[in-house]
Amino acid sequence: METKIKTVTLPNGLRIVFEKNKNAKTCSAVIWIASGSSYETPETAGHSHFIEHMVFKGSHKRSALDIAVEMDEIGGYLNAYTARENTCFYARMLTEHTEKALDILCDMVRNPRLDESDIELEKGVIKEEISMYEDSPEDLCADTFYRNVWKNSMLGSDILGSEATVDAVTKESLQAHLKKFYVPERIVISLSGNFDEKAALEISKSYFADLKNTGFQINPVDAKYNQHTVTVKKSVMQNQLVLGFPGVAVSDKRREAVLLMSSILGNSPSSRLFQHIREKLGLVYSIETTSVSYLKSGVFVVAMGLNEKSEEKAIGETLEIISEFSKTVTEKELARAKEQSVTSFVMELENISSHASRNGRNLLLYNREIPPEEVISNIRAVTLEDIRKTADEIFDLSAMSICVAGKVKSKKAYKEIINSANQGSN
């Protein structure tokens, strides 16, 4: 059944977006907050993520146990995550339990208890989370890459913060963060599925209508690309390696071309890098490409997991494929990438939760509804010439960065490998 998106803006500026589907038996509710690691300072790094944790520790009228029990009683699902440019809280439930679940979700986000004993307890939990990521070579390599590629901007900071910034968190610092960022102009509530629109609106109003608009609009954080060579020693069986290039922001007209480029190069089983580096030569266990885009910055990444003895050959073969890409990419590869991208997007739209998430995020970050037809049309419109031109612009081997975690060589050795590979590909 066709759905229609409706947006309600409260007098204080908070927006609520509804997409109703009367045929659905479930509902998904999402609260988006423009609070993420990129908006923090070196002193407050990790506060957005810390608050995400504290929201689940109880509100003024519900304990952490109350929240868990009440959601379990209705069979609902409740979770959250923090990113560089936003924090997202979401709930999924059967239609008949929408009002209960939405009340719990709004209560948590609007009225976190911030008990000092809970804060001290959660510091230990988050430091364990930091340790968990540091014990994962893949995560360690990725975080180190972003920290160095955007080293002069908070966009590159660790979302979790550091042990030092976590230890420095206080009830007062969390309250200050909430007061600054959890304001109506930086909040969007989104519901999708089958629900009572009037009831959902009233519940949202009851929790958020009294918030004062502070005029703190979203000001995207810029980050200048910083070329680097970084190594992290780690006693592991398999090295993790990232090659990075300057990428595109989400508003860049080349974004669809870059996404399709990524699909052709290393984002599917039929991609060039996967077929050649893994399947034909057996140099890696995993290899993939990703276009990472934010509001004003982006990077294009090639990530691989491999034995340290295979690094020189793998890097050389990868750079050869990348350097010749603009001249050798074909219409057939582009058509396949378009079909993969469109199919993946349309399949995602079959998920009610995806609708709620997408609608809220679009409104928060772009201040408008983006029709699915527009997304599909933009993908279909990319030409082979667009791909070739964009590849020439993105794949400047002289600007490439490299980050390696594991049983690493010296920085000098990696620079020599790259220089040798560049000379061979010229």
Q: pLDDT tens, 76-92?
A: 999 999 999 999 999 99
Give the confidence band of 419 by pLDDT, cuts at 50, 70, 90. confident
pLDDT of residue 9: 98
Contacts of 41 by beta carbon, 8 Å cutoff, 6+ apart: 154
Q: Is 52 a catalytic residue?
A: yes
d(CA 154, CA 47): 13
Exposure pattern of 352-362 as b/e (b: 16+ CB <10 Å)? bbebbbbbbbb
Which of 329, 328, 323 lies closest to 392, judged by CA? 323
Whether residue 402 has pLDDT greater than 70: yes
pLDDT of residue 424: 65
d(CA 52, CA 224): 28
Q: Where are the alpha helices (DSSP H) in 56-136?
A: 64-73, 98-110, 116-134
Whether residue 18 has pLDDT greater than 90: yes
d(CA 83, CA 86): 5
Residue 98 carries which side chain, given as an amino acid letter? Answer: T
Under 8 Å between Cβ of 228 and 401: yes
Which of 52, 288, 312, 317 is the catalytic position? 52
Say which residue the tokens 């003024």 belong to.
Answer: 60
- The pTM of this model reads 0.94
Residue 180: what are its φ and ψ, rounded to 5°? -80, -45
Q: pLDDT tens, 164-215?
A: 999 999 999 999 999 999 999 999 999 999 999 999 999 999 999 999 999 9
DSSP state of 357: H
d(CA 171, CA 214): 22
Whether residue 271 has pLDDT greater than 80: yes
The architecture of the domain spanning 4-208 is 2-Layer Sandwich (3.30)
Q: What mean pLDDT comes out for the span 327-345?
A: 97
Fold for domain 229-425? Cytochrome Bc1 Complex; Chain A, domain 1 (3.30.830)
d(CA 147, CA 158): 7
pLDDT of residue 422: 77
Q: Where are the beta strands (DSSP E) in 44-83?
A: 77-82
Q: What mean pLDDT comes out for the span 237-247?
A: 96
First to last CA, the chain: 55
Coil, helix or strand for 44?
coil
Q: pLDDT tens, 342-401?
A: 999 999 999 999 999 999 999 999 999 999 999 999 999 999 999 999 999 999 999 999
pLDDT of residue 3: 65
Mean pLDDT of the chain: 96
**Tokens matching residue 316:** 């050389």
pLDDT of residue 1: 43
| DSSP codes joined into one string, 251-287 | T-TTHHHHHHHHHHHHSSTTSHHIIIIIIIT---SEE
Q: pLDDT tens, 249-260?
A: 999 999 999 999
Q: pLDDT tens, 129-149?
A: 999 999 999 999 999 999 999
Whether residue 220 has pLDDT greater than 60: yes
Question: CA distances (Å), 274 to each of 61, 86, 206, 407, in order?
Answer: 53, 32, 52, 23
Comma-separated ranges of CATH 3.30.830.10 domains in the chain: 4-208, 229-425
Whether residue 2 has pLDDT greater than 60: no
Q: How many CB atoms lie within 10 A of CB 367?
A: 10
Q: What mean pLDDT comes out for the span 280-305?
A: 97
- How many residues belong to the chain? 426
Give percent of the chain above pLDDT 70.
Answer: 99
pLDDT of residue 426: 60
pLDDT of residue 274: 97
pLDDT of residue 420: 83
